[in-house]
Amino acid sequence: MKFLFDSDTWQEIYGSIRKNKVRTSITIIGVLWGIFLLVVLLGAARGMENGFKKIFGDFATNSVFVWTQSTDTPFKGFQKGRTFRLKMNDIEALKTEYADEIKLLAPRNQTNNLIVHNFKSGNFQVSGDYPVLDQIQKKNLIYGRFINENDILSSAKVTVISEDMYKQLFDKGVMPIGEYIKINSINYKVIGVYGPSNAIDLDGDTAYIPFSTFKRVYNTGNNVDWMVITASEGVDILQMESDVILTLKNLHKVHPDDKRAFGSFNLGTQIAKFMGFLTGMQFLTWFVGIATLIAGVFAIGNILLITVKERTKEIGIRRALGATPKSIRQQIILESVFLTTVAGMLGIIFGGFVLFIIDSAFGQGEDAALVNPTVNIPIIIFAFITLVVLGTLIGLIPAHMATIVKPIEALREE
């Protein structure tokens, strides 16, 4: 390792670089561009992934939504075009049959109503729900709490409203918890206020009341408007969607091949498609970045080969004065490693600076397109080490060419 600290070695490297400033600069830029692209593209991909996760937030992404429509195939005496409703019996049947596959299941009923508080009013959505909804779609509670099991058991006339509803119905500064509002001319006690979420929100401004209360007030009986089903970890959400709908078809005497009787939206498969896109983008990023790195490293090898050719006479003189092939080889390799190291460090620094600018321009605010576009330190270290290793390997070629030069022939070189 003595040659690393030999001032003569570094002076020779410096002299070689100084003699070919333009060529050396172009070579460094080529390698720098490769690792710069890798850092920026990986950071942008991570920013997109973070933005995607922010959109869905705490929403259970492996979920499927199911509702009824109308049949398009006659079956068991029923005519085409028959309409029907989901029932609470369906919910219990699904919980029993798919006890291991279903993690969460939330039956839901919804309507629109005039909501009044003192002299202020507004038309809003009213939703009858179970406490499990807060596990599927976490509410950002500002005041109070969400519906609990006691509210369901007692059919309590309580409600949880949005912050916008609170601002529209209440005077500024009034604490809403414990106050009463009228929904469909019936008094409900406000037990919670939830704020806007940066994540996906399927309901918008909605007043949530206990499912059992909704059933009594709106006389819905055992009817269910629609349901949200969240699969257990490791369960194929697409297969579960198919199985659940087939079970519901059997329960409601619907033809197994009827495509219109049930509507569904599989959030899990949509997310899987997007995650597949992100994975493909990351693969492309690695491919482009590494390919550019390799191209830059080969450029260093070519430059060093040219340098060796230009310094043939100098190498011959050194060999004649007693320089060993090993020392010449070490100098050429060290020059290659030095150039790749400098280029790699500059590329990482510039890449980090560009990611900082991207974060400042596009990563701030609720509608940020790229959230915290960063690259993990281990990935940076891996890319840098790979670059240095490639620089070392590519330096072996010109180093070998330099050592096979015979002193007599080198001294004759013009």
Residue-range domain boundaries for the chain: 2-56+275-412, 103-231
pLDDT of residue 218: 94
Using 50, 70 and 90 to split pLDDT, how confident is the model at 146?
very high
pLDDT > 90 fraction of the chain, expressed in percent and rounded: 37
Per-residue confidence band for 375, with pLDDT thresholds at 50, 70 and 90: confident
Q: For the residues 238-242, what does the mean pLDDT come to?
A: 88
The predicted-structure confidence for 303-340, as pLDDT tens digits, reads as follows: 666 666 666 666 666 666 666 666 667 777 777 777 77
Give percent of the chain above pLDDT 70: 78
pTM for this one? 0.66
- The residue among 330 and 351 whose pLDDT is bigger is 351
Give the separation between CA 232 and CA 17, rounded to whole angstroms.
62
Give the confidence band of 409 by pLDDT, cuts at 50, 70, 90: low
- Partnered with residue 67 across adjacent β-strands are 226, 263
For residue 289, pLDDT over 70 is answered with yes
Higher pLDDT, 238 or 198: 238
What does the chain come to in residues?
Answer: 414
